[in-house]
Amino acid sequence: MPLPEDIRVERDLGARTQQPYIPGILKIGIIGRSRGKNTSSTVTVTRQVADTDLLKNYTTDVYASSPIRSVDKAVDLETGKDEIYYPGIHFNIIKSADDSILSAANLGSNDDPTALEIDWSVAAPLVPPSVANTSLQSSSTGGFDSATTVYYALTVVDHNSNESNVGSLTKVEIPAPTTGYYQVILTWRMVEYATGYNVYKGTAADGSDLLKIGTVSVKTTVTFTDYNIVGSGSPPTTNTTAAKPKDGDTYDLYYDYAVVTRMKAVEYTTPGQVKADHGVGSELTNVAKIFMSSVYNNTPVVVTVVPESDTYNSYLDAANVFKTAHVNFIVSLYAGSDTLATLISNLQPFYNLCASLSDEKVGQKECYAAFALPYKAGWTTNDVKTFCNAYQSTATKGKRAFFVVPDGFYVKVQSWELSTGVASSNYTVTDPSGYDITPFVFAGACMARYAGLRDSAEPLTEKDILGFTFHGDNFTNQEIRAMRSYSAMVVENISGIAAVNQSINMSWSSLGIEDGEMNICVTEDRIKEDLRSKLRKYRGKKQLGAILRAAEDTIADALRQYIDNKLIAYFDAKSVTVYQDPNQKDRILGSFIYMPIYPINQIAVSYLFVFVAL
């Protein structure tokens, strides 16, 4: 899990240190699948009598070879109409295969235009209005000429000429006019999605003798004058109306679709930029976020290429796009097999490409491939050896690859998002051929973390292949020694924290500078996570001298424990200091200096915690 930004890591120059770290642009090339960039558009659709409009009839207009992601609304286009219909209220988006209802706001992976339909059968019936106000007006031309009591009721008519049952009855007592006649004026509220109204009148209090006395053919006209009209025709007893466009009419469908740019190298400097172009929950979005959160000294530039299709050859073609992108690392999210021989054969072209892209004389321009062994029950250390040996190249010194050796682990990273935007803590990534490539993702993450600490003046030239193994249970010492002997560095997954099982030291003559650098990275991860937990108990306390000294003791005790556990070589007890921030009184600063077991650099780690004064 990416660490909060309350930790600063710096290198201190000392007698045994290398040249200071010089930040540079780290470019990581990723080949993978995209969900595309959301783009808004509209298409004109004709409503079908069967209540189901097949989007496949409008594939060319709607999709333009890109998948639809969401549906916003439908707007009736008929003359004089400005009615808007909404998914989930007036219509549903359904899958043709099983008529299951999809979320119109996020269609997820169900984006095949031939498999989606707009279902209007769920449109709610129109609610008939009730007479809101009545008034009498005198007339000399006709109307009621004697005292009487009548009852009025209204029905509503939809776009398909279906009529509802009547609304509530309204009683009107008409007195005898002194001269001429009385006419009754009725008013009511407009009903959306209606084409008009019918007016009924009767004399029975239960409405049993209602007869139609008039029709209003415009939905915005909400008044009617009864001059003692004689009615004919009883109202319907059921409501058959629906809030939907007329059969055969056209409407505009507003939607967002995904635009996927393929076979083009695009650079990004933030995870948000990747998400905007490749979509929420996409493989490239999640992987880029993990890679960018893993580097310490510099945020890497991620360069993505989306293959033309999900085939192995398309991924190879996409890799060649990096020939002009000048990337430091290439991660292809494709395995294509879990058979060792086939896997080695599939990955070999990526390895060879990185070798051809590298400049033998200038190490900073070298290009490396991030490899992995997809998880498969039964992998042994001999399989790892075979995998390593396949990339031991004398001509190129075998320095073109990083790889991960998995052993059945659940990845616990809260930042991995599903297409719905919900974060998933346990996830498995599969390639287009269905093989587990979760280790590929973490090969890139470890690689980014590793490269963030290494000196640009010290390119990878000593080691043939650098490997990381996330393991559900502890390795045996024999397994560790075996894998180290053929260039694998063993890293355990302990409670979601990467930690070195046995720290690297100078006794291994085959190990070079980069081994110690990786050791620093994973050791720092463990120290930071552990100290953050131990210092949490001081939050909310007054920053008195006793509290500051107690925090110093906590740090010192933890560092002694790290020495016992062989995580670090030693620490300078006099360097452990906790003090109040002179600029921000509500914060304390703490620092210490420790030496990794492999003596390359001294590293000063400053922990910045905010304490609330009581």
Q: Say yes or no to pLDDT of 179 above 70.
A: yes
Work out the end-to-end distance of the chain between its first and last CA atoms, rounded to an integer number of angstroms: 32
**pLDDT of amino acid 451:** 52
Tokens in use for 324? 């002009």
Cα gap 207→80, rounded to integer Å: 35
Q: Are residues 54 and 117 in the same domain?
A: yes
Cα gap 444→307, rounded to integer Å: 19
Cα gap 435→428, rounded to integer Å: 10
Residue 566 or 212, more confident: 212
Q: How confident is the model at residue 365 (pLDDT cuts 50, 70, 90)?
A: low
- Phi, psi angle pair for 113, to nearest 5°: -60, -25
Which of 389, 406, 496, 483 lies closest to 443, judged by CA?
406
Q: Are residues 116 and 146 in the same domain?
A: no
Which of 202, 226, 250 corresponds to the end of one domain?
A: 226
In a domain, 607, yes or no: no
- Phi, psi angle pair for 223, to nearest 5°: -145, 150
Q: Are residues 70 and 101 in the same domain?
A: yes
In a domain, 399, yes or no: no
Residue 364 or 527, more confident: 527
What average pLDDT does the segment 299-313 reach? 90
Residue 16 or 590, more confident: 590
The domain that holds 153 is classified in CATH as 2.60.40
What average pLDDT does the segment 569-597 reach? 73
**Digit-coded pLDDT (tens) for 92-129:** 998 887 888 888 887 765 455 567 889 999 999 999 99
In a domain, 67, yes or no: yes
Q: Are residues 113 and 140 in the same domain?
A: no
Burial of 378 (0-12, 13-18, 19+ CB in 10 A): exposed
Q: Are residues 175 and 114 in the same domain?
A: no
In a domain, 78, yes or no: yes
Q: Are residues 116 and 142 in the same domain?
A: no
In a domain, 436, yes or no: no
Sheet hosting strand 84-85, strand order edge to edge: 37-46, 250-259, 68-76, 84-85
* 52-54 and 223-226 strand pairing: unpaired
Q: Are residues 53 and 81 in the same domain?
A: yes
Residue 511 or 549, more confident: 549
Cα gap 373→488, rounded to integer Å: 12
In a domain, 85, yes or no: yes
Residue 20 or 387, more confident: 387
- Asked whether 377 and 337 are in contact (CB, 8 A), the reply is no
Which of 94, 123, 152 corresponds to the end of one domain?
A: 123
Where in 333-449 does DSSP place strands (E)? 368-372, 401-404, 411-417, 423-427
**Digit-coded pLDDT (tens) for 136-167:** 999 999 999 999 999 999 999 999 999 999 99
Q: Are residues 149 and 173 in the same domain?
A: yes
**pLDDT of amino acid 515:** 44
Cα gap 572→554, rounded to integer Å: 15
Which of 211, 226, 241 corresponds to the end of one domain?
A: 226
**Digit-coded pLDDT (tens) for 322-331:** 988 888 788 8
Residue-range definition of the domain harbouring residue 74: 48-123
Q: Are residues 142 and 206 in the same domain?
A: yes
**Digit-coded pLDDT (tens) for 388-446:** 777 655 444 444 555 555 544 444 444 578 777 777 666 678 899 998 887 777 666 65
Count the Cβ atoms, other than its own, within 10 Å of residue 594: 22
Q: Are residues 115 and 186 in the same domain?
A: no
Which of 403, 405, 385 lies closest to 483, judged by CA?
385
In a domain, 404, yes or no: no
Q: Are residues 140 and 74 in the same domain?
A: no
**Digit-coded pLDDT (tens) for 551-560:** 889 989 988 9
In a domain, 233, yes or no: no
Domain count, the chain: 2
Count the Cβ atoms, other than its own, within 10 Å of residue 582: 7
